Amino acid sequence: MCELFSLSARHPATVHLSFEEFSRHGGGTAHHADGWGLGWYSGRRVLLLCEPTPASNSALVRFVLSQDRASRTFVSHIRKATQGKICLENTQPFRRALGDRDHLFAHNGDLRGLERFGLGFHRPIGDTDSERAFTILLGRLEPLWLADEPPSLEARAAVVAQFAADLRPLGIANFLYSDGELLFAHGHQRTQLSGRVEPPGLHVLKRHCDDAPMEHGGLGYRILTSGGAQDVVLFASVPLSGEAWRPLREGELVVVRRGEIVG
């Protein structure tokens, strides 16, 4: 099963993916060898790097390691294919433009029966359930983002919450979605080490630093921050450190803006 990771920060943060740990997840000690991707916001645009190959032998991962890319929002995905070919089109996160900005989406799970839901303007490029789910969500968000006024947090959250509720009966439905201002994380179920499919599907960690730069060393990620008082919210399929990650309840939707949980 795939793994998800995301970060929302008060001030732009630099995320360094530890190559040794990341490569073990992407085809080494874990079986997520069918692709990887990392997207981050620069203003309203998303910079996205994806490959349909294991991260364990990726020169592009090494390139990412050598860079200091700072952003308030990162979304990352490591793939274990359940639906769709192993190809670039099916590698997550997915990016689409809607309204005046890019939107990012990554899903962990296996959904059946999405055909019952209509699409808006956007159409899938690949053949995964995850991308089709994203285009369904965008279709529901289109009336909000194409209106004259930017949509409220409450209006966006209502659409995403209903979308999540519609997905859960169709299979495992953990996902991360960002419009550049808000980050939504939906926790459902996941195949656990015991082999049982049950909650939690995502975990969350809230961290605060008053003044000094903060270094967070985790399993697969190292986050460096600076710029005064900093608040960071992290989501991950499995806890990335020995800290007190909180498991999301089944069906829980968390909304974050710039390192602060707002819903």
Catalytic residue among 2, 50, 87, 209: 2
pLDDT in tens, 132-156: 999 999 999 999 999 988 899 999 9
Q: Under a CB-based contact definition with an 8 Å cutoff, are residues 84 and 2 in contact?
A: no
pLDDT in tens, 177-213: 999 999 999 999 998 988 899 999 999 999 988 765 6
- pTM for this model (two decimals): 0.92
Task: Sketch the domain layout of the chain as residue ranges.
Answer: 3-261
Burial readout 167-203 (b: 16 or more C-beta within 10 A, e: otherwise): bbebbbbbbbbbbbebbbbbbbbbbeeeeebebbbbb
pLDDT in tens, 30-40: 455 789 999 99
Domain 3-261 carries which CATH code? Answer: 3.60.20.10
- Annotated active-site residue 209? The verdict is no
